[in-house]
Chains A and B, each alone.
Chain A
Amino acid sequence: MEIEDENNFKLRPMKCELNYLSRSDGSAILAQGETVVLVSVNGPLDIKSTSQSIEKATLEVLFCTKGGKPSVADRFKENIIRQTCETAILGCLYPRTGISLTIQELEDFGGLLTCTVNCACLALLNSGIAMRHMVAAVCCAVSEEGNLVLEPSYTQVQSASALLYFVFDSRERNLVTGFTEGSFSENTYEEALARCRLASDVVFDFYRDIVKQYSDVI
């Protein structure tokens, strides 16, 4: 297995704009490489009493694909994002309310899910909802030769033998969410986890840069 220099990460270039939508409480558009996602956050707002929870805010996630047709795969993505964001948000401060997260896929050239999670985190930051910590998602592919590729491109995703997704928190870099596709060895998993954990710092630094840029103006 090829081992790179541990401090030399090449994540795909990230570009972001906060407050992209004027009417929603918080919104962000994020491009990671050629993958682009737009997320809008509304809340805390009133929701119907059957879905209210007396101890915390209910998170509703709606994922819209580029084609617009809902599918089972989208429900899976919604679930991952909901569970990830629920750990990040301090829902106990807003009991009996709902927070709705609407995600629109604009371009998918690999790593859509990591881009979505990161964009959702930026939109939540923009909305001013209290959060325990931030989250950063990093994707890692295992190529056919068994090499690890961080943030794979579209062609690399197509040819990969396995894909590993990890989401980390910003406090202790603990694993929040992790899921995998394909087959791989235990060692590969450990190695990918360690690399992605280090790479998550790049994402967190990016968040800080973005918020710094906006705090001067706002």
Chain B
Amino acid sequence: MKISIGDVVLPGDYCEEISQVAEKSKVIIGPGLRKEVDRVYITKPGVLKKRNPGTFWVDSYQKRYVPSRGENVIGVVVQKAGDIFRVEIGGSITAALSYLSFEGATKKNRPEVQVGDVVYAKMLVASKDMEPELVCVDSHGKKGRLGVLSDGFVFKCSLNLIRKILNPNCPLLETLKNEWPFEVAAGMNGRIWIKANSMRETIAVGNAILGAEYLNDEEIRSMCNNIAAILAGHVS
């Protein structure tokens, strides 16, 4: 079936608008789109989105992570194998993290990473035919916010929720950060790490994030205020 931008699309549909734009200028087709001989076909159910001048993608619901390059993910170290760590990131296979890809690490000075540690890392290589590869430094050799996440609490959620809370327009973290102090790291693989001063506060952040999945901006604000009131002890 022929569809246009903003429509709910299903696999097997095709979009002629993309081909028309492609005739004049360069286009980028993102997740959920696939170019076949004559047309651009949809491969995932969701909403077809466009960003000017020529970026197209399908916003679809997903729980299973498929690695893609440049994304920040949260993983658990499951094995130390020679000079790499194997990190479980929720994809089909574990990702490799070299011990040299930490800030200030040399062959003599190994980073202190144990099996079971939670790491926040960037996807360096993510090809369907190769093992994914992670790094904990940027191209300047600085760690930035990447590295081992100590303490805290990790939980899983759908990939859409991660994209939702990381959206700069989403009021969730903006509202929560004014209420009580906490640290949060969101991995694009559907994992969230939280660290707060007490267990009560950690659970409150976790519930606020999970509760935001099906709410709109206004509802998120009122939910955050509710949780903050309960936490402060105004409501029992």
Cross-chain contact A44 with B66 (CB below 8 angstroms)? yes
B16 to chain A, nearest CB (A): 15
Cα separation A129 to B32 with both chains bound (whole Å)? 9
Cross-chain contact A127 with B128 (CB below 8 angstroms)? no
Contact (A215, B12) CB under 8 Å given A128-B60, A130-B34: no
- Does B22 count as interface, using CB distance less than 8 angstroms? no
Cα separation A127 to B13 with both chains bound (whole Å)? 18
A185 to chain B, nearest CB (A): 33
Cross-chain contact A43 with B12 (CB below 8 angstroms)? no
4 nearest A-B residue pairs (beta carbon) = A128-B62, A133-B12, A131-B11, A130-B43
Give 1 or 0 for each of A117-132: 1 = CB within 8 Å of chain B CB.
0000000011111111
Q: Out of A19, A93, A125, which one reaches B128, CB within 8 Å?
A: A93
- Does B180 count as interface, using CB distance less than 8 angstroms? no
For window 96-122 of A, CB contacts with B under 8 Å fall at: 96-97
Cα separation A217 to B175 with both chains bound (whole Å)? 22
Cross-chain contact B12 with A218 (CB below 8 angstroms)? no
A23 to chain B, nearest CB (A): 9
Binding site for B on A (CB under 8 A): 19, 25-26, 42-46, 88, 90, 93-97, 125-134, 169-171, 207-208, 211-212, 214-215, 217-218
Q: Out of A44, A130, A169, A207, which one reaches B44, CB within 8 Å?
A: A130
Cross-chain contact B43 with A90 (CB below 8 angstroms)? yes
Cross-chain contact A215 with B47 (CB below 8 angstroms)? yes
Cα separation A132 to B193 with both chains bound (whole Å)? 36
Contact (A44, B64) CB under 8 Å given A90-B34, A95-B128: yes
12 A-B pairs within 8 Å (CB atoms) are namely A19-B61, A44-B66, A93-B128, A95-B128, A97-B92, A127-B64, A132-B41, A134-B12, A207-B10, A208-B10, A211-B10, A217-B214
Cross-chain contact B12 with A170 (CB below 8 angstroms)? yes
Which residue of chain B has the shortest Cβ distance to A27 in the bound complex?
B63
Q: Out of B10, B13, B44, which one reaches A128, CB within 8 Å?
A: B44
Cross-chain contact A171 with B12 (CB below 8 angstroms)? yes
Residues of A within 8 A of B63 (CB): 25-26, 127-128
Cα separation A93 to B128 with both chains bound (whole Å)? 7
B173 to chain A, nearest CB (A): 20
Known: A97-B92, A125-B11, A207-B10. 15 other contacts (CB 8 A): A25-B64, A42-B64, A44-B66, A44-B91, A90-B43, A93-B128, A94-B128, A95-B129, A125-B45, A126-B61, A127-B63, A128-B61, A130-B43, A132-B41, A215-B8
